[in-house]
Amino acid sequence: MWTTIVAVLGTILGGAVTGALAHFSARSARWDELDERRRSEAIDAVTALARAASDHRRAMWMVREAQITGVDAERVRVLRDESHRTRSEITEPSVRVQLLIESDAVRAVAHEAVHATYAMREAETLEALEDARAVALATHDLMVRTAGAYLA
């Protein structure tokens, strides 16, 4: 009789342990999947921000160069409209980076990269515009490297 009781208890205990292990394994798999999805979303956000900042940097260069060199007002208006469009395209990926990435360093350098690009509009000479563009490019590259190291 004791043999039967031990066998039944062993079976019950074995089932409980197996069930618990299956539960923990499934939970771990869900967490791994969630982590990978968040990482993928963060990479997408950084990539979108890098692309949007590049587009805006190009647009800012064109409009400021046109303004500084005295291109006709209609051409400047068209270029300014384009720079407004590209600036608005920075907002969504910038917000996604701030929300999805936990690293203060990545968030800070992303903010710097965006604002360095915005600062190009303050250039009064072609030399100042070239300098501002160089700063914007450097902070853009720093953002990509910092995010890459964090997300690796």
Q: pLDDT by residue (tens digit) across 73-124?
A: 999 999 999 999 999 999 999 999 999 999 999 999 999 999 999 999 999 9
27/152: higher pLDDT: 152
Q: What is the mean predicted confidence (pLDDT) over 61-81?
A: 96
Neighbour-count burial of 39, counting CB atoms closer than 10 A to its CB (0-12 exposed, 13-18 middle, 19+ buried): middle
Asked if the model's pLDDT at residue 6 lies above 80, the reply is no
Q: What percent of the chain has pLDDT over 70?
A: 87
Confidence of residue 145 (pLDDT cuts 50, 70, 90): very high
This prediction's pTM: 0.81
User: To which residue do tokens 């997300």 refer?
Assistant: 151
Q: What is the mean predicted confidence (pLDDT) over 1-23?
A: 68
Give the number of other CB atoms < 10 A from CB of residue 152: 6
* pLDDT at residue number 51: 98
* DSSP summary character for residue 125: S
Asked if the model's pLDDT at residue 23 lies above 90, the reply is no
